[in-house]
Amino acid sequence: MPTSPSRRRIKSEFLQPRRYPRQQRAQIRSRQILHVTAKLLEEVGIDSLTTLMIAKELNISVGSLYHYFPNKHAILNRLGTMWLEEMTGAVEEIENMDIGNMTLSEFVDRTVERLLVVYRNQRAVLPLALALSAIPELRHLDAEHDNLIISKMMAMLKRLGFQASDNELNRLGRAYLELSHTLLIVIVSQRQIRAERTLADLKRMILALFEPHRAENQEMTKAVEAP
The predicted-structure confidence for 169-226, as pLDDT tens digits, reads as follows 999 999 999 999 999 999 999 999 999 999 999 999 999 999 999 999 999 998 888 8
Asked if residue 31 belongs to a domain, the reply is: yes
H helix intervals, 100-191: 104-121, 126-131, 139-159, 166-187
Say what the pLDDT of residue 53 is: 96
Classify residue 11: in a domain, yes or no: no
CATH of the domain at 191: 1.10.357.10
pLDDT, residue 137, reads: 84
Instruction: Select from 139, 209, 140 the least CA-distant residue to 176.
Output: 209
140 and 44, same domain (yes or no): no
d(CA 133, CA 119): 18
Mean pLDDT calculated for residue range 26-43: 91
Last residue of a domain, one of 7, 38, 69: 69
| Same domain flag for 82 and 133 | yes
Q: By CB neighbour count within 10 A (0-12 exposed, 13-18 middle, 19+ buried), where does 183 fall? A: buried
Residue 173 to residue 210: CA distance in whole angstroms:
10
Residues 20-30 have a mean pLDDT of: 77
Are residues 44 and 126 both part of a single domain? no
Computed over every residue of the chain, the mean pLDDT equals: 89
What CATH number does residue 24 fall under? 1.10.10.60
- 86 pLDDT exceeds 50? yes
Residue 156 near residue 101 (C-beta atoms within 8 A)? no
CA gap 217, 163 in Å, rounded:
5
Residue 211 forms part of a structural domain: yes
pLDDT, position 122:
87
Instruction: Please name the amino acid found at residue 109.
Output: D
Give the tens place of pLDDT for each residue, 139-178.
999 999 999 999 999 999 999 999 999 999 999 999 999 9
3 state DSSP class of 45: coil
At residue 174, the pLDDT reads 97
The predicted structure's pLDDT at residue 20:
57
Q: Are residues 41 and 82 both part of a single domain?
A: no
> Which pLDDT score, from 0 to 100, does residue 130 have?
79
- In this structure, are 182 and 97 located in the same domain? yes
Q: Is residue 9 over pLDDT 90?
A: no
* CA-wise closest residue to 41 among 68, 79, 14: 79
Identify whether 63 is part of a domain. Answer: yes
Residues 134, 166: one domain?
yes
Residue 149 lies in a domain: yes
Give the C-alpha separation, 145 to 150, whole Å.
9
8-state DSSP, 162 = -
Checking if the pLDDT of 105 tops 50, the result is yes
Q: Are 54 and 88 in the same domain?
A: no
Please give the pLDDT value at position 96.
Answer: 97
Task: State yes or no: pLDDT of 14 exceeds 80.
Answer: no
Same domain, yes or no: 170 and 216: yes
Given this model, what pLDDT does residue 15 score? 63
Closest residue by Cα to residue 153 from 182, 178, 128: 178
Which residues constitute the domain of residue 49?
17-69
pLDDT band at 6 (very low <50, low <70, confident <90, very high): very low
User: In this structure, is residue 2 part of a structural domain?
Assistant: no
Return the axis-axis angle of helices 24-44 and 51-58, rounded to nearest 10°. 120
CA–CA distance, 45 with 135 (Å, rounded to integer): 13
Q: Do 121 and 170 belong to one domain?
A: yes
Give pLDDT, residue 10.
Answer: 39
| Same-domain pairing of 173 and 194 | yes
Return the number of other C-beta atoms located less than 10 Å from residue 79's C-beta. Answer: 22
Of the three residues 29, 45, 69, the one that is the final residue of a domain is 69
The pLDDT-based confidence of 17 (bands split at 50, 70, 90) is low
| Closest alpha carbon to 154 in 208, 95, 205 | 95
The reply to whether 65 and 80 lie within a common domain is no
**Is residue 195 domain-resident?**
yes
Nearest partner of 213 among 177, 180, 184, 173, judged by Cα: 173
In a shared domain, residues 92 and 199: yes
Number of domains observed in the structure of the chain: 2
Query: What pTM value is reported for the model?
Result: 0.85
At residue 107, the pLDDT reads: 98
Q: Is 6 among the domain residues?
A: no
Task: Give dist(CA 101, CA 28) in Å, integer.
Answer: 45
Residue where a domain stops, chosen among 5, 35, 69 = 69
The pLDDT of residue 176 is 98
